[in-house]
Structure 1
């Protein structure tokens, strides 16, 4: 990852690592996801695609270990978070919301940030981004503009720190910041997480994003969305040199 990509990450809140996962590995991951879907009666036969989205836990082992340990990704984690600060895992993790061609509202589209740690059954976030270093979007299928791609509000991560800061270490429900952001945040230029199978978008933990609909493509969209785990989060006193922390500090001086 070069300096221009780091600058983009801090400014825009994301960077795409193209070809991070080899095409044959991504194909093997798709096959494994189909096997899990079959347990719910969903097969490659379009007649079984009766729901707009089916969520499954990302399988472990096999091709997912190869995907999750991609040298390009681990190098990017070192650059954005810092060597030795993030928790390696022998897999990808998270869930895979498989989105099928459909005009039906999926029920999960709406602007939000990701929560990071559980409080009374809800996922919360605090200004130091406890437990989350990055949001990673692993494209296991080709994703075009018609395939219900995830939508990212460029630069929106800078609006969140000053909202979270008054809540201190305890933080707040991951959905709460959206009630406090200025409407202009949601009028920002957006980018869609599109690309080839094997591309991975690495997003700042505070980026505002949403699922999209309808899915007017022809094939299911398969994408995992795990957290890259950082136990204690980031220092926000200016002493933390990581790009994730620098963006949080910059956001503390930005109006929500």
Structure 2
């Protein structure tokens, strides 16, 4: 039997804190290839900061081999199984989106132009059209009309098993690491349960506001596997180099089972039940 990626302690950290960092989840060489490809899409000079004229640029999804291979390593497969359950997740076939954050002058991290506490667990309640969806996911980050009626969340985390943060560049405290409210995933289920399967939209600015904070720092090749209810926000890059990251969804095969007769819940399911006080 191949060695498992996560220890029992790390699994319990995920249940309690809502995330776990996997060091060296994919080779640094793949990260180098991905960055090189993204630089070509950016049409900027990686060696000339005067060409870095925007705070953040979002690139869409990519199915090129280095991108996809970075999400399909044995270490990640093992971790997906351990957290979501064997056979309960779909193999990633594309990577994205890519929020690329460039150094900013005279800014604090919380001054990011898109700073905002949120969760990435939503599903489309109505059809907004492919083009609108692409605009919303892409560089312009166009917010669809009637956003609160369009996107919803339910306690079974419809459509998303994990939020994943793939670090394609070394990311220190100054390099726009995603800011996380530790344990905030436990505050979300009680807000969603009354809405049933239809779900509801949540304003999460104040959800988990008293929770401790953690920054998703690490090296190129590290991956954070996060609970879909984890409240987090982007921050400004106050360092000296661009920050490259992808934030794909690990899609589920089936929705969570929160009332198993045999009581054999996955860590993902256990964390939701913990938030519900079960």
TM normalised by structure 1 equals: 0.90
1:177-196 counterparts in 2 under 5 A?
177-178=203-204, 181=207, 185-196=208-219
Distance (Å, rounded) in 2 between the aligned partners of 1:32 and 1:116: 29
Query: How many residues were matched structurally?
Result: 244
Going from structure 1 to structure 2, the CA distance change for 1:90 and 1:226 (only over 3 Å counts) comes to same
* CA displacement 1:160-188 (0-9 Å, x = unmatched): 00001111101112xx242673xxx2121
* CA displacement 1:28-68 (0-9 Å, x = unmatched): 01111111111xxx332211211110000142122112201
Aligned residue number for residue 251 of structure 1:
275
Aligned residue number for residue 221 of structure 1:
243
Structure 1 gap ranges (5+): none
- The answer to whether residue 185 in structure 2 is matched with residue 157 in structure 1 is yes
Kept in 1, the 8 Å contact 2:88–2:254? The answer is: no
Going from structure 1 to structure 2, the CA distance change for 1:179 and 1:212 (only over 3 Å counts) comes to closer
Aligned residue number for residue 28 of structure 1:
33
Aligned residue number for residue 122 of structure 2:
116
Distance (Å, rounded) in 1 between the aligned partners of 2:70 and 2:88: 20
Distance (Å, rounded) in 2 between the aligned partners of 1:202 and 1:115: 13
- The answer to whether residue 90 in structure 2 is matched with residue 87 in structure 1 is yes
- The answer to whether residue 222 in structure 2 is matched with residue 199 in structure 1 is yes
Cα shift at 1:2: 1.1
Aligned residue number for residue 14 of structure 2:
9
Cα shift at 1:208: 0.6
Structure 2 gap ranges (5+): 1-5, 129-149
Distance (Å, rounded) in 2 between the aligned partners of 1:78 and 1:96: 25
Aligned residue number for residue 104 of structure 2:
102
Cα shift at 1:146: 0.3
**Matched residue SS, 2:57:** strand
Distance (Å, rounded) in 2 between the aligned partners of 1:195 and 1:180: 27
- Give the CA RMSD over aligned residues: 1.7
